[in-house]
């Protein structure tokens, strides 16, 4: 009878190989697996590594304030999409990206989307105008990525004044950070100047 | 006078029968019969066992369905979301329920079989005793045929 019961139980348990799933929110993984930091894939406990910024998603140096952020040069009134890959570590307050709106535009706006794995702390966006204090800027995206595919995104779209200096900050959201154990993330930032 | 002769005839006719050789006894095994209550009790327990076993099968299939949906040996490209966590929980929960139901169902069926054996009614042996072997006694104008049995 015990063999029958054990056999039935064994047959009904999922068999999930190491590396089969991407990590879920707050590094969640199938039982017996852990979230691998460098690629946010669920792997066997013995091979899991801690979070790390990778070559594809580097942590820019000395970009923690609006004034010292990475500069996006040469943006036109209607620009192409400027893309940046970055990494926000637990001890990094934020990564900033500066740009100027062309003075000759009648009207100008900006569309920003930051995409990041759901495995780690969600990313938030801030906006600084002419070196002023940063303000929370992000909202939910109209067409967010499918959570099932392991990514989430935050968006920001607003009209800007032509001929001014702006900075977009990629910062910690302070939520869903595994009690500060996964307060880090890799991200892809896309910025485009548009006619609002 | 005629009446006396008749008596004699009867007397002569019965004497050889009483003193004749006995026949063979007939022995019959009468199987015992279960009472209705016994049948109902055993049938009820067995039926309950089958029912609980069927419930176990249901949970087993549910668990397997959930497990199959999650199982993968290759990279799925999908994240381990709350939905999958819930599906995993369902697989484990149904597995446990299936195990419990199989255990209880099996125990009930085993109990019914044991009760069937233990409460088997005993058969009774019944003996039919035969009397003297048939005797034919010639009498005036014919013969007398006689025999006796007891139960």
Residue B13 within a domain: no
Chain B residue with CA closest to A150: the answer is: B79
Residue B11 within a domain: no
Instruction: Give yes or no for a contact between A126 and A168, defined as CB atoms under 8 angstroms apart.
Output: yes
Average pLDDT score over residue span A8-22: 83
Say yes or no to pLDDT of B134 above 80.
no
Residue B15 within a domain: no
Say yes or no to pLDDT of B98 above 70.
yes
Residue scoring higher pLDDT (B8 or B132): B132
pLDDT of residue B15: 45
| Whether residues A120 and A190 fall in one domain | yes
Least CB–CB distance from B70: residue in A8, A11, A14: A14
Residue A113 within a domain: yes
Q: Which residues of A touch B101 (CB under 8 A)?
A: none
Residue A174 within a domain: yes
| Whether residues A36 and A127 fall in one domain | no
pLDDT tens profile A135-180: 999 999 999 999 999 999 999 999 999 999 999 999 999 999 999 9
Q: ipTM of the assembly?
A: 0.86
**How near does any CA of chain A get to the CA of B126, in Å?**
44
Residue B127 within a domain: yes
Q: What is the CATH number of the domain that holds A100?
A: 2.60.120.380
| Whether residues A175 and A121 fall in one domain | yes
| Whether residues A114 and A148 fall in one domain | yes
Residue scoring higher pLDDT (B88 or B150): B88
| Whether residues A98 and A133 fall in one domain | yes
- State percent of chain B over pLDDT 90: 56
Average pLDDT score over residue span B108-130: 90
Say yes or no to pLDDT of B13 above 50.
no
pLDDT of residue B91: 95
| Whether residues A78 and A134 fall in one domain | yes
Chain B stretch 43-102, residues whose beta carbon is closer than 8 A to a beta carbon of chain A: 56, 60, 63-64, 66-68, 70-85, 88, 91-92, 94-96, 98-99, 102
**Domain, as residue range, for A32:** 17-50
| Whether residues A41 and A101 fall in one domain | no
DSSP per residue, A15-29: -B-TTSSB--GGG--
Residue B69 within a domain: yes
pLDDT tens profile A112-147: 999 999 999 999 999 999 999 999 999 999 999 999
Residue A128 within a domain: yes
Residue A155 within a domain: yes
| Whether residues A131 and A187 fall in one domain | yes
**Domain, as residue range, for B36:** 20-150
Residue B12 within a domain: no
| Whether residues A102 and A143 fall in one domain | yes
Q: What does the block give as tokens for A88?
A: 């926000």
Residue B82 within a domain: yes
Q: Band of the pLDDT at B72, cuts 50, 70, 90?
A: very high
Q: Work out how many domains chain B is built from and give that number.
A: 1
pLDDT of residue B132: 62
Residue A55 within a domain: no
* d(C-alpha A88, C-alpha A172), whole Å: 8
pLDDT tens profile A21-73: 999 999 999 999 999 999 999 999 999 999 999 999 999 888 999 999 999 99
CB contact under 8 A, B95 and A9: yes
| Whether residues A70 and A162 fall in one domain | yes
| Whether residues A97 and A30 fall in one domain | no
Q: Work out how many domains chain A is built from and give that number.
A: 2
Q: Band of the pLDDT at B125, cuts 50, 70, 90?
A: confident
Residue B1 within a domain: no
Residue scoring higher pLDDT (B138 or A49): A49
């Amino acid at each position: 009878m015990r063999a029958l019961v054990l056999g039935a139980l064994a047959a009904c348990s999922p068999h999930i190989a190491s590396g089969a799933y991407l990590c879920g929110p707050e590094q969640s993984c199938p039982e017996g697996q852990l979230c691998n930091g460098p690629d946010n894939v669920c792997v066997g406990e013995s091979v899991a590594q801690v979070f790390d910024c990778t070559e594809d998603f580097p942590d820019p140096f000395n970009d923690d304030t609006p004034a010292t952020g990475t500069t996006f040069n040469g943006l036109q009134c209607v620009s192409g999409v400027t893309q940046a890959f970055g990494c926000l570590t637990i001890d990094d307050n934020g990564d900033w990206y500066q740009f100027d709106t062309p003075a000759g535009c009648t009207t100008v706006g900006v569309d920003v989307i930051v995409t990041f794995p759901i495995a780690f702390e969600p990313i938030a966006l801030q906006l600084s105008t002419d070196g002023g204090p940063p303000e929370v800027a992000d909202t939910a995206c109209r067409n967010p990525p499918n959570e099932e595919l392991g990514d989430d995104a935050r968006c920001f779209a607003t009209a800007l004044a032509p001929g001014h200096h702006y900075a977009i900050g990629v910062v910690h959201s302070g939520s869903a950070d595994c009690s500060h154990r996964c307060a880090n993330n890799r991200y892809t930032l896309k910025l485009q100047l548009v006619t609002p | 006078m005629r009446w006396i002769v008749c008596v004699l005839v009867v007397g002569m006719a019965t004497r050889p029968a009483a003193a004749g050789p006995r026949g063979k006894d007939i022995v019959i095994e009468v199987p015992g019969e279960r009472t209705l209550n016994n049948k109902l009790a055993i049938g009820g327990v067995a039926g309950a066992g089958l029912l609980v076993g069927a419930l176990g099968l249901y949970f087993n299939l549910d668990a397997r369905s959930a497990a199959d949906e999650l199982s993968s040996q290759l990279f799925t490209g999908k994240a381990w979301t709350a939905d999958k966590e819930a599906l995993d929980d369902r697989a484990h929960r149904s597995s446990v329920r299936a195990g419990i139901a199989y255990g209880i169902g099996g125990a009930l069926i085993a109990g019914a079989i044991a009760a069937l054996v233990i409460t088997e009614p005993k058969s009774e042996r019944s003996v039919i005793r035969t009397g003297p072997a048939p005797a034919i006694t010639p009498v005036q104008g014919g013969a007398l045929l006689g025999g006796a049995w007891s139960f």
